[in-house]
Amino acid sequence: MLRDITLGQYYPTDSVIHRLDPRVKLTATLLFIVSMFLFHSFLGYAVAGICLAVVIVISHVPFRFMMKGLKTIWFLLIFTMIFNIFLTDGTILFQWKFIKISQEGLLTAAFMGLRLFFLIIGSSLMTLTTTPNQLTTGMETGLRWMKVIHVPVHEIAMMMSIALRFIPILMEETDKIMKAQQARGADFEEGKLMDRVRALVPVFVPLFVSAFRRANELAMAMEARCYRGDNGRTSMKPLKYAARDGIAYVIMVLFLVLIVFTDKIAALIF
Partner 1 sequence: MIKASKLAYEYIRRDEEGNVEGIVRALDGVDLDIKSGDFVAILGHNGSGKSTIAKEINAILEPTEGVLFVNNYDTSKEENIWDIRQSAGMVFQNPDNQLVASVVEEDVAFGPENLGVPTDEIILRVAEALEKVGMTAYRNSSPNHLSGGQKQRIAIAGILAMKPKCIVLDEPTAMLDPNGRKEVISTIHELNKKEGITILLITHYMDEVVGCDKVIVMDNGKVVMQGTPREIFSRPDEIKKHKLDLPQVTELADELAKEGVDMPKGILSIDEFVEAFTSRYAGK
Partner 2 sequence: MLYLDKVNYIYQKGTAMEMPALHDVSIEIRDGEFIGVIGHTGSGKSTLIQHLNGLVKPTSGNIYYNGRDIWDEDFSRKELRTKVGLVFQYPEYQLFETTVEKDVEFGPTNMKLPKLEVQMRAFEALKTVGIGEDLYDVSPFDLSGGQKRRVAIAGILAMRPEVIVLDEPTAGLDPCGRDEILEAIARIRKERNITVVLVSHSMEDVARYVDRLIVMDHGMVKFDGPTKEVFQNYEELEKIGLAAPQVTYLTAALMKKGVPLPGIATTVEEAKEMLKAVTGAR
Given the rule CB under 8 A, which residues bind partner 2?
1, 4, 176-177, 179-187, 201-202, 205-206, 209-210
User: Taking CB under 8 A as the rule, does residue 148 contact partner 1?
Assistant: no
User: Taking CB under 8 A as the rule, does residue 8 contact partner 1?
Assistant: no
CA 59 – CA 257 distance, rounded (Å): 23
Minimum CB separation of residue 202 from partner 2 in Å reads: 5
| Partner touching 147 among partner 1, partner 2, none, CB below 5 to 8 Å by kind | none
| Partner touching 179 among partner 1, partner 2, none, CB below 5 to 8 Å by kind | partner 2
User: Taking CB under 8 A as the rule, does residue 95 contact partner 1?
Assistant: no
User: Taking CB under 8 A as the rule, does residue 33 contact partner 1?
Assistant: no
CA 233 – CA 167 distance, rounded (Å): 25
| Window 42-71: residues binding partner 1 (CB under 8 A) | none
Q: Which stretch binds partner 1 (CB under 8 A): 21-29, 178-186, 196-204, 222-230?
A: 222-230
Burial classification of residue 164, based on how many CB atoms lie within 10 Å of its CB (0-12 exposed, 13-18 middle, 19 or more buried): middle
Each residue 110-139 as x (binds partner 1 by CB under 8 A) or -, in order, gives ----------------------xx------
CA 243 – CA 191 distance, rounded (Å): 61
Q: Which stretch binds partner 1 (CB under 8 A): 79-87, 179-187, 198-206, 226-234?
A: 226-234
User: Taking CB under 8 A as the rule, does residue 14 contact partner 1?
Assistant: no
CA 228 – CA 234 distance, rounded (Å): 12
